[in-house]
Amino acid sequence: MSAKNGSAISRREFARRAAFVSAAASLSPGELLKSESAAVVAPPLQAPTTSGPKLSPESTTEMESRIQAVFAQYGSRLNDAQKSDLRRIAAEGQAALDRLRAYPSDNGDGPALYLKPLMEREKKPAALETGNASGARKKP
């Protein structure tokens, strides 16, 4: 398959690069969240409310970075009530994420529940199970 221009890459090369990028992103996502980039450091617009769930400093940092990403993309379209609502929802979601991450699991662990569908099938009538039909004659 020939490329029309010199900058095009093959499907194989694209798949290889995509695999490298996804592997690099999954290596240490916690370390990526802990490091602060100088270009996109913005102070929180509003402190989290005390009525929300108690979060660890790492969880608060992750929640704030998620909120800042949403504000950077959609901030001009949101009013103050929507922004405070978004903060509340993000805090509740972060608490759920923390509980989920606290559960120990390994790559080899199977799912906790297995789907075993019950299939009800019609039962055969008693006459057919014996092999002799009621109207059949036996040879002498």
| Interval 91-110: pLDDT, tens | 999 988 888 888 888 888 87
Choice between 132 and 54, residue whose per-residue pLDDT is larger: 54
**Predicted model pTM:** 0.41
b/e burial code for range 5-21 (CB count within 10 A of at least 16 → b): eeeeeeeeeeeeeeeee
Per cent of the chain over pLDDT 90 is 21
The structure tokens 């903060």 sit at 87
Listed by start position, the domains of the chain span 29-104
* pLDDT tens digit sequence for 9-23: 888 888 888 887 877
C-alpha 25/C-alpha 116 separation (Å) is 36
pLDDT top residue among 121 and 34 = 121
